[in-house]
């Protein structure tokens, strides 16, 4: 039995080039980047080069990139400081955001008494832009927090439209772009985004590293104190090997973007065709079967299975060596169903098992054929 990995929205496989690069850094560049001797200066130079590389791909200044432990920390940094330090009194978000945003917003509501508005969604889980514009008609200092690509169903936000609406209404805009950076090109000179969160392990980089984009002169203050690293935004000795790994991963992702996107798109189309052909009554959650409205890396499938068989489906797939998920990996172990699907599916469809398959350049059509055979046997 060959393991089949269809859970790249949870985390991706490291590219061999990145393992090689990180190993080299750990062996040869082990100085503390805050030290003034040659070992420290060498480490510092690598971090600053990585910052420039990241900034180049987003078309921003290097000083606007702050390395973090990942997307969750970057989300917390932007949201907490916006309320604590920038005087934000109102946050507009949606009920299908990642919990790194939802739980943080709920905590800010409790601690600081801010008002929170949830923008309406259509039946597929897309933001109602007219309702968003209505919510933005406020005299309170407002921050909008909406993710670019939904991590469970793959819906794509019209990030340019939202940024224009925010700018027109003097609101700040934060976006969790964990599922999109490395997969889509974003020009932050063209987009009026104030804060962004990114995680390296979503585009074949290492875990434990990401970055926040913080628009210059925003006034944001640190979340973690204790040192002057990251221009005072984020204290703590930098993990040089992780930062260099993220740099290399982002570089390779964008250098190979068109070729890999075409390959993965073809895989997703093939999977949809096979599912429709073999399973009467199969449906696709959100807009994940619409290639104009969803990302090419995610397919969330509602399967025509008897309710009593649903709870053991993931277990059966795992026994056959197939890795996928019922939602965000951050929710695994939770007794509750997907908070995303609960907003867009009927009560009847919520009783059926929904599985998220997510793809990368390392997947093949042969693996899809194997998954189809396993599902046929089980169903």
Q: Is 168 helix (H, G, I), strand (E, B) or coil?
A: helix
- 19-26 long-range Cβ contacts below 8 angstroms, 24+ apart: 21/244, 21/245, 21/248, 22/206, 22/241, 22/242, 22/244, 22/245, 25/240, 25/241, 25/244, 25/245, 26/241
Contact 12, 3 (CB under 8 A): no
d(CA 345, CA 284): 10
| Catalytic residue chosen out of the listed positions 166, 302, 324, 330 | 330
| DSSP code per residue over 186-250 | --TTTS--SEEEEEGGGTT--TT-EEEEE-TT-----SB-SS-TGGGTB-S---HHHHHHHHHHH
Query: Is residue 130 within a helix (H) or strand (E), and if so which, with residue range?
Result: helix 129-135
Query: Is residue 145 within a helix (H) or strand (E), and if so which, with residue range?
Result: strand 142-145
| Secondary structure string (H, E, C) spanning 53-106 | HHHHHHCCCHHHEEEECCHHHHHHHHHHHHHHCCCCCEEEECCCCCHHHHHHHH
d(CA 6, CA 118): 31
As a residue count, the chain comes to 379
Burial 180-208 (b: 16+ CB within 10 A, else e): bbbbbebebeebbbbbbbbbbbbbbbbbe
d(CA 175, CA 78): 10
330: annotated active-site residue: yes
| DSSP code per residue over 196-213 | EEEEGGGTT--TT-EEEE
Q: What is the DSSP letter of 311?
A: G
What residues have CB less than 8 Å from 274, skipping those under 6 apart? Answer: 368, 369, 372
The catalytic residue positions are: 330
């Amino acid at each position: 039995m060959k393991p089949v990995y269809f859970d790249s929205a949870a985390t991706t496989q490291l590219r061999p080039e990145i393992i090689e690069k990180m190993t080299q850094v750990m062996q040869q560049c082990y100085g503390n980047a805050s030290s003034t001797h040659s070992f420290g200066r060498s480490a510092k130079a690598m971090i600053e080069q990585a910052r420039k590389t990241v900034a180049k791909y987003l078309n921003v200044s290097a000083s606007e990139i702050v390395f973090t432990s990942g997307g969750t920390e970057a989300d917390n940094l932007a949201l907490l400081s916006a309320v604590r330090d920038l005087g934000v009194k109102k946050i507009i978000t949606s009920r299908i955001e990642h919990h790194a945003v939802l739980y943080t917003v709920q905590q800010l509501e409790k601690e600081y008494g801010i008002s929170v508005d949830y923008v309406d969604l259509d039946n597929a889980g897309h933001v109602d832009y007219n309702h968003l514009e209505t919510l933005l008609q406020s005299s309170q200092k407002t921050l909008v927090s909406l993710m670019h690509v939904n991590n469970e169903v793959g819906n794509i936000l019209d990030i340019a439209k939202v940024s224009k609406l925010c700018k027109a209404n003097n609101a700040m805009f934060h976006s969790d772009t964990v599922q999109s950076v490395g997969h889509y090109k974003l020009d932050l000179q063209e987009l009026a985004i104030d804060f962004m969160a990114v995680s390296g392990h979503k585009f074949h980089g290492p875990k434990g590293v990401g970055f926040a984009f913080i628009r210059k002169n925003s006034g944001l203050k640190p979340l973690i104190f204790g040192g002057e690293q990251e221009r005072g935004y984020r204290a703590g000795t930098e993990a040089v090997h992780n930062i260099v790994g993220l740099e290399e991963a982002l570089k390779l992702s964008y250098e190979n973007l068109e070729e890999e996107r075409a390959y993965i798109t073809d895989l997703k189309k093939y999977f949809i065709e096979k599912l429709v052909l073999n399973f009467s009554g199969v449906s696709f959650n959100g807009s994940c079967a619409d290639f104009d409205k969803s990302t090419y890396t995610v397919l969330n499938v509602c399967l025509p299975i008897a309710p009593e068989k649903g709870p053991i489906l993931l277990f059966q797939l795992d026994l056959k060596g197939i890795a996928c998920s019922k939602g965000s990996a951050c929710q695994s172990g939770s007794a509750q169903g997907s908070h995303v699907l609960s907003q867009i599916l009927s009560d009847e469809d919520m009783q059926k098992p929904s599985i998220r398959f997510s793809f990368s350049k390392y997947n093949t059509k042969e693996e899809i054929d194997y998954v189809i055979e396993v599902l046929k046997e089980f169903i």
